[in-house]
């Protein structure tokens, strides 16, 4: 059986994080998703991607991350592992998803 791989893109302090993980769940904390089982590309590359190295060091000791649902840009289930990266978020190509998470709010 093939293990699922999820590619998650989210906004973090003006940057777009693109990470890969084994598990993505709706959190018990209202308005958050949980990400666990981070996967990093372990191929031996001659060229070192600094943004992937930054992500590896940032998430190396993290067991689980909770991300606000309004920071999530996209979650994909993919067949192959790609390279995790950090990109600059500019207003031209990234916009937050408009979200009303209060189910009792009146329009």
Query: How far is the C-alpha of 66 from the C-alpha of 69, rounded, in Å?
Result: 9
The two structure tokens encoding residue 74: 């996209």
When divided into structural domains, the chain yields a total of 1
- Domain range for 33 is 5-88
**What CATH number did the domain enclosing 51 receive?**
2.30.30
Q: Is residue 102 one of the residues assigned to a domain? A: no
The pLDDT tens digits for 41-81 are 766 555 566 778 888 888 888 899 999 999 999 999 999 88
The pTM for the full model equals 0.74
Judged on CB neighbours under 10 Å (0-12, 13-18, 19+), 67 is buried
Q: Is residue 96 one of the residues assigned to a domain? A: no
Residue with tokens 């991300």: 67
Backbone angles phi, psi at 57, to 5 degrees: -70, -35
Q: Is residue 22 one of the residues assigned to a domain? A: yes
Q: Is residue 45 one of the residues assigned to a domain? A: yes
Q: Is residue 83 one of the residues assigned to a domain? A: yes
The pLDDT tens digits for 91-103 are 665 555 555 556 6
């Amino acid at each position: 059986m093939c293990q699922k791989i999820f590619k998650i893109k989210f906004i973090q302090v003006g940057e777009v994080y693109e990470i890969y993980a084994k598990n993505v769940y709706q959190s018990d904390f209202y308005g958050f998703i949980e990400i666990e089982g981070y996967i990093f590309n372990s191929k031996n590359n001659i060229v070192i991607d600094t943004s992937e190295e930054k992500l590896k060091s940032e998430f190396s000791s993290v067991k689980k991350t909770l991300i606000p649902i309004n920071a999530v840009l996209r979650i994909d289930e993919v067949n192959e592992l790609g390279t995790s990266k950090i990109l600059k978020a500019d207003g031209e190509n990234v916009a937050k998803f408009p979200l009303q998470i209060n189910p009792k709010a009146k329009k």
